[in-house]
Amino acid sequence: MNNATTHASAPVHFDEETIRQSFNQTPFLLEHELVGHPLFELSRLIELAATLPAEQVEYNSGDLPLTQDPLKTPRNGLSIQETIQRIEECRSWMVLKNVEVDPSYKQLLDSCLDPLIRFCPDMRTREAFVFVSSPGAVTPYHVDHECNFLLQLVGTKTVRILLPNDPTVIQERDLERFYAGGSRNLLRLDSQTEAKATTFELTPGLGLHFPVTAPHWVKNGRAVSISFSITFHTGRSDRREILYRINHKMRTLGLHPQP
């Protein structure tokens, strides 16, 4: 990437022009150098999972429809350790949340995000997630509230993503319910919406930027997939969340707030 802004040891290559034009507006690809990093070997991830509280490890069957009721998501019948050990054949999806509680992952997260501070001086609440999933596993249609860069390390993923500011895709009341505590899977995907999505193919060494609340869904390729998600909030994104929560509360009181 021609205008990449890099630091001596920065593992993620951020293109200055792309960041200035597209950050938190539209999705875009980028490159990174984390392929083969020892923190993402399965043995190390088993060790990490054993140290995390239960609420920081989410896993279930990977055979899911694109639209999935989170309360009815089927489990896979295995332990956390068994799921990782048998990830190639157990048809499962797993995320290790807030892995920055481990100092090694925290150091890596900071080395990835520090070069972005010049573009996001109000960066705050850095968090990291590791996704481990079986061949063909599906991540259903959903939204997230963080600024996110998903870095592909092992295997491939097809990501289909929509713009976060398209009112025909996601409406104000959808966002109000989401920020008020509703499920990230609150949206329903129809054929008209699906046709508007942009498709990105992620291979090892590539990453993808997800703007805040950009609806998306993911399907793994034919091999085990491991991805590292580096996320953060900004002052702007935090204020946005507060405003949506206030608007949701106003609606419950019978008022009609402006978007």
**Bridge-partner residues for 124, per DSSP?**
233
* Spatial CB neighbours of 237, under 8 Å, sequence gap ≥ 6: 24, 145, 146, 147, 212
Contact between residue 164 and residue 214 where contact means Cβ atoms under 8 Å apart:
yes
Q: How many CB atoms lie within 10 A of CB 132?
A: 26
In Å, what is the CA distance from 246 to each residue of 180, 239, 250? 9, 11, 6
Tens digits of pLDDT across the chain (259 residues)? 444 444 446 899 999 999 999 999 999 999 999 999 999 999 999 999 999 998 998 876 655 555 655 545 555 567 878 878 888 887 788 899 999 999 999 999 999 999 999 999 999 999 999 999 999 988 888 899 999 999 999 999 999 999 998 888 888 888 999 899 877 666 778 888 889 999 999 999 999 999 999 999 999 999 999 999 999 999 999 999 999 999 999 999 999 998 8
Structure tokens at 8: 């001596």
Which SS3 state, helix, strand or coil, does residue 173 take? helix
Give the pTM: 0.89
* Spatial CB neighbours of 98, under 8 Å, sequence gap ≥ 6: 52, 56, 127, 128, 129
Structure tokens at 191: 């054929």
Which SS3 state, helix, strand or coil, does residue 131 take? strand
Contact between residue 148 and residue 210 where contact means Cβ atoms under 8 Å apart:
yes
List of E strands, 92-178: 92-96, 124-133, 138-142, 147-154, 157-161
Nearest to 216 by CA among 228, 198, 202: 198
